[in-house]
Amino acid sequence: MKFRLFLLLLITMFPALNAATLRCVQCNKVIRGRYFTSGGKAYCSETCIEKTWPKCSLCGKHFRNGVQLSDDPGKVFCSDCAAKPQCFSCRLPADCEKLDDGRTLCRECYQRAVFKYEEALEIFNEVRSRLKQELELGTEHRIHFQLVSLPELERRSRETGSGAGIELGLFYHNFTEVTRTTESVLPWHKPKTEVIRTNERFAIYVLYGMPREKLIEICAHELAHDWMQAKYPAIINLKIKEGWAEYVASKANRLFGNESLNRRIELNPDPIYGNGYREIVKYVTDHGKSGLYDYFASLNQNHSAAGQRVK
């Protein structure tokens, strides 16, 4: 999303009437002769006015017309820098490295990117155990963990047909339902039928090449889906599911000392992910964590009672 910042500057030149006492508000030099005004203030030169303009977050140059590419209003770019490729992880324009699957990563993110499966698995296991121990969010599921490319993640997301959009990871849960009929030994009793689940499989897929701290956030998000699946499997409301996953991701960012990543989560304009997150936060503020779990339980019951497919 692009926002254009237009800075309305009125630059006029006036002959200095009271030259002896007039000083440039930027450099404090005494102004003699002609000077410039902007916003009712006096400047000795155009260079001094330019210094009051916003600074490009990438090249550091001051500009009049800039672009805000991310949700962070503190990150603005001159038009030259805004035209550079965008980093897949931090979403900011930069001189990027290109990955095998076509994604681009800025050098800063690339330096901390995780490509090795063993390293990623270690991070996944650490996130899982800390969520369990410190936030009491854990399951006993045997989760298959895998690093994948972007096309593969997109293909798997489409196949699963779950979620509100393409994420940087995917939680996958599948099973086969079998109807079992048990004949009673007593001929006047009706045969008993029950639906049982077999072949239950859990998997979490995440993109390779994500910076370590981003990988932590993605793992936490997907593990939150796993927890909800175990505790409240009948909840189908995407805003609740994704809002909860983003909420847990923000908790993990705090646990691991990566709180700066929460800016994206908090300011996310997305109606499912962003609004969902903010609704969960508000619910916890108003009713506490146990209140939130009661709410989940009621949603779970309503959805089950409505006969919706348990998935």
DSSP readout, 133-193? HHH-------EEEEEE-HHHHHHHHHHHT-SSS--SEEEEEEEEEEEEEE--SSTTSPPEE
Minimum Å gap between C-beta 304 and Zn ion is 22
Q: Closest separation between CB of residue 253 and Zn ion, Å?
A: 15
Measured from the CB atom, is 19 or 59 closer to Zn ion? 59
Between CA 229 and CA 212, with CA 226 as vertex, the angle to 5 degrees is 160
Q: What are phi and psi of 159, to 5 degrees?
A: -60, -40
Q: How far is the CB of 182 from Zn ion (least distance, A)?
A: 39
Among 49, 67, 87, 153, binds Zn ion (CB under 5 A): 87
Using the contact rule CB under 5 A, the part of the chain among 7-15, 102-110, 127-135, 178-186 near Zn ion is 102-110
Candidates 67, 69, 90, 215: give the one binding Zn ion (CB under 5 A). Answer: 90
Residues 22-81 that bind Zn ion (CB under 5 A): 24, 26-27, 44, 48, 56, 58-59, 78, 81
Of 32 and 287, CB closest to Zn ion: 32
Per CB under 5 A, which of residues 229..258 are in contact with Zn ion? 242, 245
| Total residues belonging to the chain | 311
Between 28 and 290, name the residue whose CB sits nearer to Zn ion: 28
What residues line the site for Zn ion (CB under 5 A)?
A: 24, 26-27, 44, 48, 56, 58-59, 78, 81, 87, 89-90, 106, 109, 242, 245
